[in-house]
Amino acid sequence: MKRLPGADGRRKLARAERRHVEWGGAAVSGGGPPMYDLVIRGARLFDGSGGPPRTADLAVSGDYIAAIGDLGAAEAQRELRADGLALAPGFIDVHTHDDRAVLDGDMAPKISQGVTSVVVGNCGVSLAPLTLPGAPPPPLDLLGGQGDYRFPTMAEYLTALDRAGGATNTAALVGHSTLRVGTMDDVQRPARPAEIAAMRERLREGLVAGAIGFSTGLGYAPSAAAPTGEVMALAGELAPLGALHTTHMRDESDHVAEALEEAFAIGRHALVPVVISHFKVSGRGNWGRSPMTLAQWRKAAGGQPLALDAYPYAASSTVLKSDYVAEAPRVLITWSKSHPEQAGRDLDEIAADWGLDRAAAAERLQPAGAVYFSMDEDDVRRILAFPETMIGSDGLPHDQHPHPRLWGAFPRVLGHYAREVGLFPLEEAIRRMTSLSAERFGLVDRGTLAEGAFADLVIFDPATVKDSATFADPKRPAA
Ligand code: ZN
């Protein structure tokens, strides 16, 4: 596992490690053919660029791709035949809540999908920097309980990450809601100047320690009271350190157009790239608005650096929120602290059992999480097919009955949306989870198959790859 460095250290590290490849890579043994650690033979190489695949061999030495081509004469410690299979750069999950999972999990939900790098700390919620006097408020409870918030600084979190030796590479964001909860005595109001200064100090510490950016979750209670100016002030820390801003916007429903404008304005003000997280239009009254919101994004992107990610499902998931309950045709409970036996059931069924209306049943289940079937399939497809859309799972690894995106997002794009629905060719599906993601998040020498790039690799059968996780049975690894 490698912690992916912040902007400052990125290029330096990449250069130093490249030199290591040249010196210590393929050892030449007595003038004979080179000896590699691993050679994969006969696969169809999808290099991440979106170009058509080609059949070739690929050799790995240490952490790096050492050679690509006809390596018939080359010897290796280990050889793999991969005839007819796809070989691609390991997928990058740009939108995760794996902050804790990367410390203490085997990352099976991600590794089983071919994901080799994750971006944590999205939606304003990061595990660091924060310690808590009591239970974390929603949505910080998505990551764990009081005891899990044990890193007063980002540097301590990143040190723990380095020690953990987890299965994926990790790039971290500092969350706005985490900063607010850790700095303010009351988060239901705008931050005062001294609090903004304290948050900026913590944010700067995080970026200097190696975080790659700053995330907001303005739709959630701990940050909803933050005016645009507060976010602009905090985002002022980003540009000097080459960091970026990701946002779960203030509104993804009736006021989605205004929320997009706010996100764009923050980027222009702070001169930073902005990633619109889990791009969607939510709520039945907004179905069919994605052509407008995508056009709005496209127009703004002509004048400032913008990116966006999406997951391949027409249902969202987060903590149980009354405004989301009100606008979703169907709600599935993913966990409940007060009624854990109800996880995996529909809210309407629970309400009927209890003789309550939906809102009252939701109140009784708190604190809790839910899946909201609140999007239109046509909008989902239109957003996925948009050429700038990166894939991010938004999976919630600690939920009792999680949204299937946790185990299925990437194979669902490859199998369902690329192969079966034909939204785009396989090479284009792969580009949206590799080179595009690495480029937008500044992850050097990842997301591509090239000599000298990191050997983050995935092999799969393009004819059969498919998600198996469903809303009813969400913890099934991909086929
Ligand atoms: Zn979010």
The tens digit of pLDDT for each residue in 159-168 reads: 999 999 879 9
d(CA 409, CA 280): 16
| Cα–ligand 1 centroid distance for 94 (angstroms) | 12
Work out the angle at residue 257's Cα, subtended by the Cα atoms of residues 255 and 258, and round it to the nearest 5 degrees.
70
Q: How far apart are the first and last CA of the chain?
A: 25
Q: Work out the average pLDDT over 132-156.
A: 97
Contacting residues for 26 by C-beta, under 8 A, at least 6 apart: 34, 35, 36, 59, 61, 66, 67
| Cα–ligand 1 centroid distance for 346 (angstroms) | 22
User: Range with the lowest mean pLDDT among 5-19, 55-69, 315-329?
Assistant: 5-19
| Cα–ligand 1 centroid distance for 14 (angstroms) | 31
Instruction: Inform me whether the pLDDT recorded for 209 exceeds 70.
Output: yes
How confident is the model at residue 19, as a pLDDT? 34
Tokens of 342: 């109800």
Q: Work out the average pLDDT over 75-86.
A: 96
Residues 411, 433, 252, 232, CA torsion sign = positive
- String of b and e for 257-273 (b: at least 16 CB within 10 Å)? eebbebbbbbbeebebb
| Cα–ligand 1 centroid distance for 2 (angstroms) | 25
How confident is the model at residue 166, as a pLDDT? 78
Instruction: Inform me whether the pLDDT recorded for 4 exceeds 90.
Output: no
Instruction: Inform me whether the pLDDT recorded for 133 exceeds 50.
Output: yes
SS3 263: helix
| Cα–ligand 1 centroid distance for 384 (angstroms) | 17
- For residue 72, give the amino acid letter: G
CA distances from 288 to 259, 283, 308 (A): 17, 10, 18
| Cα–ligand 1 centroid distance for 275 (angstroms) | 12
Residues 190, 192, 197, 202, CA torsion sign = negative
Q: What is the value of pTM for the model shown?
A: 0.93
SS3 434: coil
How confident is the model at residue 6, as a pLDDT? 55
How confident is the model at residue 304, as a pLDDT? 98
| Cα–ligand 1 centroid distance for 317 (angstroms) | 9
Q: Work out the average pLDDT over 413-433.
A: 98
Q: Work out the average pLDDT over 15-23.
A: 36
d(CA 366, CA 379): 31
| Cα–ligand 1 centroid distance for 163 (angstroms) | 28
- For residue 19, give the amino acid letter: R
- 347-354 and 358-365 are packed helices; what angle lies between their axes, rounded to 10 degrees? 100
| Cα–ligand 1 centroid distance for 93 (angstroms) | 14
Cβ 170 vs Cβ 222: under 8 Å? no
d(CA 457, CA 91): 8
How confident is the model at residue 14, as a pLDDT? 35
| Cα–ligand 1 centroid distance for 42 (angstroms) | 40
| Cα–ligand 1 centroid distance for 123 (angstroms) | 4
Q: Work out the average pLDDT over 306-326.
A: 95
| Cα–ligand 1 centroid distance for 269 (angstroms) | 23
Instruction: Inform me whether the pLDDT recorded for 120 exceeds 60.
Output: yes
| Cα–ligand 1 centroid distance for 308 (angstroms) | 12
pLDDT-derived band of residue 31, with 50, 70 and 90 as boundaries? Answer: low
Instruction: Inform me whether the pLDDT recorded for 21 exceeds 70.
Output: no
SS3 229: helix
| Cα–ligand 1 centroid distance for 277 (angstroms) | 6
pLDDT-derived band of residue 28, with 50, 70 and 90 as boundaries? Answer: very low
| Cα–ligand 1 centroid distance for 194 (angstroms) | 28
State what percent of residues in the chain have pLDDT above 90.
91
Listed residue (80, 45, 115) closest to 477, CA to CA: 115
| Cα–ligand 1 centroid distance for 125 (angstroms) | 9
Calculate the average pLDDT of the chain: 93
How confident is the model at residue 34, as a pLDDT? 77
For residue range 324-367, what is the model confidence (pLDDT) as tens digits?
999 899 999 999 999 999 999 999 999 999 999 999 999 999 99
How confident is the model at residue 24, as a pLDDT? 37
Q: Work out the average pLDDT over 383-401.
A: 97
pLDDT-derived band of residue 104, with 50, 70 and 90 as boundaries? Answer: confident
For residue range 233-289, what is the model confidence (pLDDT) as tens digits?
999 999 999 999 999 999 999 999 999 999 999 999 999 999 999 999 999 999 999
| Cα–ligand 1 centroid distance for 318 (angstroms) | 8
| Cα–ligand 1 centroid distance for 451 (angstroms) | 36
Instruction: Inform me whether the pLDDT recorded for 8 exceeds 90.
Output: no
| Cα–ligand 1 centroid distance for 460 (angstroms) | 29
